[in-house]
Amino acid sequence: MSHATQSDAHHAPTAQRPTVQRPTLRTKAAAYVALTKPRVIELLLVTALPTMVLAAGGVPPLVPVVATLIGGFLSAGSANAFNMIIDRDIDRVMHRTKQRPLVTGTLSVGEAKGFAWTLAVVSTLVLGVFANWLAAALSIAAICFYVFVYTMLLKRRTEQNIVWGGIAGCFPVLIGWAGVTGTLDWPAWILFTLVFLWTPAHYWPLSMKYRSDYEAADVPMLAVVRGRQMVGVQVILYAWASLACTLLLIPVGGMGLLYAAVAVVAGGWFVWESHALYGRAIRGEREIRAMRVFHASNTYLTLVFLAVGVDPLLPF
């Protein structure tokens, strides 16, 4: 070996392993928030607060309201975190979920489990101590149903997964009613049924938009196994059923003119959008604008529950 070669070898830089940047505190905090699926929780709280107003027949007591909203938020966050832990394998496959914190590695499975269990315990204590133990028991039932029945049992096995699994999303109205009254009366069960009937009509258009994702992950959503026309028919049926359920609350819950008007007008608009979706499907249009129905369903439910909360406060 020549002197020059020896010198080059002596001074050549040694190969270094690529440095892996650890997540910052801010990144970690954002990842923990993402585990709770905050956008989903917003919709749950939209149903819980108006239900408490109806249950109280006016402005409900402040302490149980705050406790129910905070406890309900933590409870739903716990269920969603457990869901992400269990579904992290399919989240890696689906385009819309590949940035979730357990897929990117921002959080470890152990960190997520600790967070989910902490939220479950704290939410139960908040509801039990500051509202009542019926609300706390319903919260536990909601977590268990979402994790064991929907995520572990139904989601990967049946096209009806979102129908029965959606029951978990109906619990906030029961928790809200129980948080104020300590009981469960017929109006609460009607609102529970409304959310149950609304959920498939809300979620199936989303599954049409992300059909390829669910197909790649081998999740048998209705849009994957039955096609667009069948989804359109089912969305219509559930939209009509939701409208009928809202009208049932008028005699049972003693609702007034404001609620009745909103239920009819908003419900009619939701049904019309559902029929329009089916029409685009049977005509074989390439772009059937499924997300238009998805967003319409969110607006519809928000308007109905806003009317549920405002109507008892009116003097007529």
Residue 125 has what pLDDT?
Answer: 98
Task: Identify the CA nearest to 302 among candidates 271, 262, 260, 255.
Answer: 262
Count of positions (residues) in the chain: 316
- Is there a single domain that holds both residue 191 and residue 304? yes
Domain tally for the chain? 2
Q: Tens digits of per-residue pLDDT, 119-128?
A: 999 999 999 9
- Is there a single domain that holds both residue 44 and residue 70? yes
User: Which alpha helices (H) appear in 131-185, and where do they start and end?
Assistant: 133-144, 161-165, 171-181
* Structural domain contains residue 9: no
- Is there a single domain that holds both residue 107 and residue 46? yes
* Structural domain contains residue 7: no
- Is there a single domain that holds both residue 162 and residue 53? yes
Residue 8 has what pLDDT?
Answer: 43
* Structural domain contains residue 190: yes
**CATH number of the domain within which 200 lies:** 1.20.120
The letter for the amino acid at 228 is: R
Last residue of a domain, one of 182, 198, 233: 182
- Is there a single domain that holds both residue 109 and residue 192? no
Residue of 181 and 26 predicted with greater confidence: 181
Q: Across the chain, what does the average pLDDT equal?
A: 91
Q: Tens digits of per-residue pLDDT, 57-70?
A: 999 999 999 999 99
Last residue of a domain, one of 157, 182, 207: 182
Task: Identify the CA nearest to 68 among candidates 163, 188, 214, 153.
Answer: 188
CA–CA separation, 232 and 275 (whole Å): 8
Q: Is pLDDT at 106 greater than 60 in this prediction?
A: yes
CA–CA separation, 45 and 70 (whole Å): 9
Q: Is pLDDT at 278 greater than 50 in this prediction?
A: yes
- Is there a single domain that holds both residue 165 and residue 48? yes
- Is there a single domain that holds both residue 44 and residue 83? yes
Q: Is pLDDT at 222 greater than 70 in this prediction?
A: yes
Token representation of residue 128:
């039990």
Q: Is pLDDT at 19 greater than 80 in this prediction?
A: no
What's the start-to-end Cα distance of the chain, in Å?
101
CB neighbour burial string for 154-186, b if at least 16 within 10 angstroms, e if fewer: bbeebbebbbbbbbbbbbbbbbbbbbbbeebee
Residue of 40 and 260 predicted with greater confidence: 260
Residue of 4 and 302 predicted with greater confidence: 302
- Is there a single domain that holds both residue 270 and residue 144? no
CA–CA separation, 72 and 119 (whole Å): 10
Q: Tens digits of per-residue pLDDT, 131-175?
A: 999 999 999 999 999 999 999 999 999 999 999 988 999 999 999
* Structural domain contains residue 12: no
At residue 105, φ and ψ (nearest 5 deg) are 85, 5
* Structural domain contains residue 316: yes
What is the extent of the structural domain holding 278?
A: 185-316
Q: Is pLDDT at 299 greater than 80 in this prediction?
A: yes
Least confident of 65-74, 103-112, 116-125, 208-217: 208-217
Residue 21 has what pLDDT?
Answer: 61
Other C-beta atoms closer than 10 Å to the C-beta of 92 total: 14
pTM for the full predicted model: 0.89
Q: Is pLDDT at 17 greater than 50 in this prediction?
A: no
- Is there a single domain that holds both residue 168 and residue 311? no
Q: Is pLDDT at 43 greater than 90 in this prediction?
A: no
Tell me which residue has tokens 């830089």: 13
- Cα–Cα distance list, 183 to 19, 49, 135, 188, 247 (Å): 57, 16, 9, 9, 23
- Is there a single domain that holds both residue 239 and residue 316? yes
Task: Identify the CA nearest to 188 among candidates 207, 171, 204.
Answer: 171
